[in-house]
Amino acid sequence: KHFDWLYNRLLHKFTVISVPHLPEKQATGRFEEDFIEKRKRRLILWMNHMTSHPVLSQYEGFEHFLMCADDKQWKLGKRRAEKDEMVGAHFMLTLQIPNEHQDLQDVEERIDSFKAFAKKMDDSVMQLTHVASELVRKHLGGFRKEFQRLGNAFQSISQAFMLDPPHSSETFNNAISH
């Protein structure tokens, strides 16, 4: 519930930033131990990504989500974040207008260039998202066992290196077995 609130606040506040989706909630099998563990790991990865983002991690609502443990303070911070008026296109109010005169043709060229960039970027991101989703779907199904076998093979190599202590590298072994 709290993660959904945070995700929706981030989408509402930062319309020009691509906020990654939360890990999926499964309708069936919601309380199976395996699903809970996978979702927990995915939420941890999501949070690691969010805390390293230069803009989203500085958002007051995000810091509130991370730090607030008191129910009363949580509700106050939640209301404050929901009343924030600098959301959506209002972020334009924070932009500063240049003091010097701008050549109209130069401005139009820069706007056209940015428009082309934004469209191409949007189309490319949508294509990338589609392809990545298809790959994930395929890999979770048919290739899952093969990747598990590959992982086991890497762990076996790591164990072999550990049998040769004078020449083995702990860092290398940790990387292989991870």
The model's pLDDT over 115-129, given as tens digits with 9 standing for 90+, comes to 998 889 888 888 988
Is 120 a domain residue? Answer: no
Is 23 a domain residue? Answer: yes
Is 43 a domain residue? Answer: yes
Please give the model's pTM, rounded to 2 decimal places.
Answer: 0.52
Q: Per-residue pLDDT averaged across 85-105, rounded?
A: 82
pLDDT of residue 176: 66
Is 146 a domain residue? Answer: no
Its sign, for the CA torsion 124, 127, 130, 135, is negative
How many domains does the chain contain in total? 1
The CATH number of whichever domain residue 2 belongs to comes to 3.30.1520.10
CA distance 106 to 61: 38
Is 29 a domain residue? Answer: yes
Q: Reply yes or no on whether the pLDDT at 175 is more than 80.
A: no
CA distance 149 to 143: 10
Can you give the residue range of the structural domain that contains 87?
Answer: 1-95
The model's pLDDT over 152-165, given as tens digits with 9 standing for 90+, comes to 888 888 777 777 77
Residue of 54, 67, 94 whose CA lies nearest to 6 = 67
